[in-house]
Amino acid sequence: MMKKVTIDFFDQAHFLSNLKAAPDGSCAAYLECQCRDEGYAKSLFLHDGKKNRRLSSEGVIDYVWEDSQTLLLSAHHRPGQKEASPYGEQTDLYRMKTNGGEAQFVIRLPLAIEQMEKLQDDQLLVTAQIRKDCPDFALLSEKERESVMAQRKAEEDYQVVTESPFVLDGSGFIEGTRSRLFLVNLSNGKIEALSEPLESVSQFACAAGQVLMSVKQFDVVRGEQDGLVCLDLESRQRRCLIPQGQLRIRQIGWHQGKAVFFASENKTFGTTENPKLYQLDLQTRQRSCLLDTQEHIGSSAVMTDVIYGSGRQVLFTEESILAVHTDRYADEILSISEAGCAEVLRWPGAVQAIEKVGDQLWLIGLKDQNLQELYRWDAPSNSFHPLTHFHDALMAETEVTKPEHFVLDRNGYTLDGWILKPVDFDETRRYPAILDIHGGPKTAYGEVFFHEMQYWAARGYLVFFCNPTGSDGKGDTFADLRGRYGQIDYEDLMAFTDAVLERVPQIDCHRIGVTGGSYGGYMTNWIIGHTDRFAAAASQRCIANWVSMIGTDDCGFTFDTDQMDSDPWKDMVKIWDQSPLQFADKVKTPTVFIHSFEDYSCPIQEGMQMYNAIVHHGVPARMCLFKGESHGLSRIGKRHHRIRRIQEMTDWFDHYLKENADA
């Protein structure tokens, strides 16, 4: 007998990420992660194209290839090793052979490593977080570090702020921190700082002894634009290729001896402008544009709630640059060079990581309502072959509903939308329904497995969702919502709802709910203040008041004022007019609010304001606040919190869309 999707279905999922090929192209490693009561447990796997095997038990954080038979792992403290010092950030490194055996402890570094890349002669390039009040902390003696940590402990009850923004979702207070580039000698433990103390290095790439870095240097205000710097490892000579303040740089790399990078000027479409691909000659410093499509290139925009981590979505090879591109609601991989741009393959879903393994292209992705697997693409037949089978048995016994796609014409443009019918759908019955709105707004829904939607379909709900104006996958013009929040996007969602009701007469129009998170929470708040057609709502990690959002979230002033097309000193009315809180006195829809105490992307006061406002006006409401969680609760939250989140919404919808259906 087939089983239905359960509320804890993600317990059985294997989340795959960080795919990296061995230097000789004979195999590839990747991280596998599972949700546990105590957190997310990562293991390291190796695949040679025929056999998939686990290399390490749980505890791996990251890894790099040292050579084609050896991996260098960063991992949590293991039994048998000296206990970690309580005085500061540290990383334990282990060496593991691919032909078997236990990982061998190599070194403990006084650095909280973020990224690492192996060089020759037992050297390692790493970025690690430092604090500007002691940028050389890792270079001090142990006694000196203990003294610094003692001073910090004396100040731990106070948080002094001198920068903006000073918080980051998922990290908390980042006041005074920078990501610094270091050169580490694994043989003797010697550490050398390569970037400036006030610089924050977001990315680096090394080739032929040259290190390319995208950096931000600031003392008070962290801006959006980056600088591009090249450092010669032999001479330590440093050259500024692009001054800070011109471009927002995304992925960087090397191609045929030239620096290449994705970047946007943010002049035409603001902070959400899609990047162009540039090439830069190191000698002349002349910059040329290889690709300008005004489309989302360089990563996947397709949303899901069943991934944890990702991997490289741009590969810089000698022949070409391979990049993931979201086209409407599905991903494809493009090959880009000076000769032009061509589609390599179109993937029916979402791609989280790509890699060249020998002459083959491998990828981690979601397709056909399956959970993640590792795939190999066969170019001659244009076919995909699964290399892993983590979920074959699970999906074979689980009843999953396939979303039905349709296109809605909207006065000169179209919307992609889907209907997810309940399990065991009966055309003679009447059903409750839920409109699910994605976040962003510059993301996109696609035809991939979405746990919360499948769970609701298993409980007898029809779920419908679409990509309204503001979504990704259709270019900058379609995604541009600046100064129009709650206008054309609201009209799109209501027109889509009307179209779904027309297509599926089995929906009971008096039993429709609405939900969404982040921007989807904003739109949920907006909708209940502008119509009473929905019988219940669940507003998640929402925005209620742009006036209070500006200056309190982790974007600082940049993103919010850009999206509102105003600032509080220029036109406060325009900002207030795009705020759902203004219309809270019109709300009649019973609403449950889901928010996290440590959400710094949409701070907790946003949910609190909307909740208090509608309660004040006599509307039934409930608010569930999660301690120790961030904006990513639905995807990376603690196991019991993820379950409670869905349970809160489901209970609310059951009460107002099922139990009170005849009231």
Residue 524 covered by a domain: yes
Rounded (to 5) percent helix, strand, coil in the chain: 20, 40, 40
Q: What is the pLDDT of residues 119-175, one digit of tens each?
A: 988 999 999 999 999 999 999 999 999 999 999 999 999 999 999 999 999 999 999
pLDDT tens column, 534-546: 999 999 999 999 9
Based on the fold, state whether residues 381 and 430 are members of the same structural domain: no
- Would you give the distance in Å from CA 64 to the centre of its chain? 22
Residue 77's pLDDT is what? 55
Amino acid sitting at position 555: C
Q: In DSSP terms, which residues pair with 364 in a beta bridge?
A: 353, 374
pLDDT grade for 29, boundaries at 50, 70 and 90? very high
Instruction: Tell me: do 449 and 385 sit in the same domain.
Output: no
Q: Which of 147, 143, 138, 70 is nearest to 103 (CA)?
A: 70
Contact 618, 597 (CB under 8 A): no
Give this prediction's pTM: 0.96
Residue 155 belongs to a domain:
no
Residue 87 pLDDT exceeds 80? no
Q: What is the CATH number of the domain that holds 602?
A: 3.40.50.1820
Domain assignment of residue 478, yes or no: yes
Burial zone of 402 (CB within 10 Å; 0-12 exposed, 13-18 middle, 19+ buried): exposed
519, 636: one domain: yes
Residues 523 and 609 in one domain: yes
- 484 part of a folded domain: yes
Identify whether 543 is part of a domain.
Answer: yes
Q: What is the mean pLDDT of residues 374-384?
A: 90
Asked if residue 64 has pLDDT above 50, the reply is yes
Note the pLDDT tens digit of each residue in 472-521: 999 999 999 999 999 999 999 999 999 999 999 999 999 999 999 999 99
Rounded mean pLDDT, 213-225? 93
Together in a domain, 391 and 500 = no
Q: Tens digits of per-residue pLDDT, 562-621?
A: 999 999 999 999 999 999 999 999 999 999 999 999 999 999 999 999 999 999 999 999
Neighbours of 184 (CB within 10 A): 25
Q: How confident is the model at residue 79 (pLDDT cuts 50, 70, 90)?
A: very low
Flag whether pLDDT at 381 surpasses 90. no
- Evaluate whether residue 151 is within a structural domain: no
In this structure, are 384 and 494 located in the same domain? no
pLDDT band at 629 (very low <50, low <70, confident <90, very high): very high
Q: What does the mean pLDDT of the chain come to?
A: 94
**Is 419 found in the same domain as 391?**
no
- The reported pLDDT for the residue numbered 85 is 58
* Same domain membership, residue 566 and residue 498: yes
Looking at the structure, tell me whether residues 406 and 370 fall in a common domain: no
pLDDT for 663: 41
601 and 478 housed in the same domain: yes
Considering the domain architecture, whether residues 367 and 466 belong to the same structural domain is answered as no
pLDDT at 83: 55
Write the CB contacts of 85 (distance below 8 Å, at least 6 apart in sequence): 142
Our CA dihedral for 653, 654, 660, 661, rounded to 10 degrees, sits at 90
Question: Which amino acid is present at 53?
Answer: R
How many domains in the chain? 2
- Distance from C-alpha of 508 to C-alpha of 43, rounded to nearest angstrom: 47
Domain membership of residue 590 (yes or no) is: yes
Q: pLDDT tens digits, residue range 425-438? A: 999 999 999 999 99
> How far apart, in whole angstroms, are the C-alpha atoms of residue 503 and residue 406?
10
pLDDT of residue 383: 87
Sheet holding 330-337, edge to edge: 314-316, 321-327, 330-337, 340-347
pLDDT at position 662, please? 47
Helix ranges restricted to H, 328-413: 392-396
pLDDT of residue 242: 95
**Domain residues for 416?**
399-659
- Going by C-beta distance under 8 Å and a sequence separation of 6 or more, which residues neighbour residue 519? 437, 438, 439, 440, 441, 470, 543
Whether residue 387 is found in the same domain as residue 358: yes
- pLDDT tens sequence across 1-28: 799 999 999 999 999 999 999 999 999 9
| Ranges assigned E (strand) in 10-79 | 15-21, 28-36, 39-47, 52-54, 60-67, 70-75
> What pLDDT, on the 0 to 100 scale, is given for residue 659?
80
- Confirm whether 223 is domain-assigned: no
Query: pLDDT value at position 1?
Result: 79
User: Percent of the chain scored above 70 by pLDDT?
Assistant: 97
- pLDDT reading at 555 higher than 90: no
Using CA atoms, how far residue 47 sits from 20, 95, 207, 374, 589, in Å, is 10, 18, 26, 9, 52
CA distances from 522 to 96, 273, 485, 630, 633 (A): 48, 21, 9, 17, 17
Judge contact between 467 and 329, C-beta under 8 A: yes
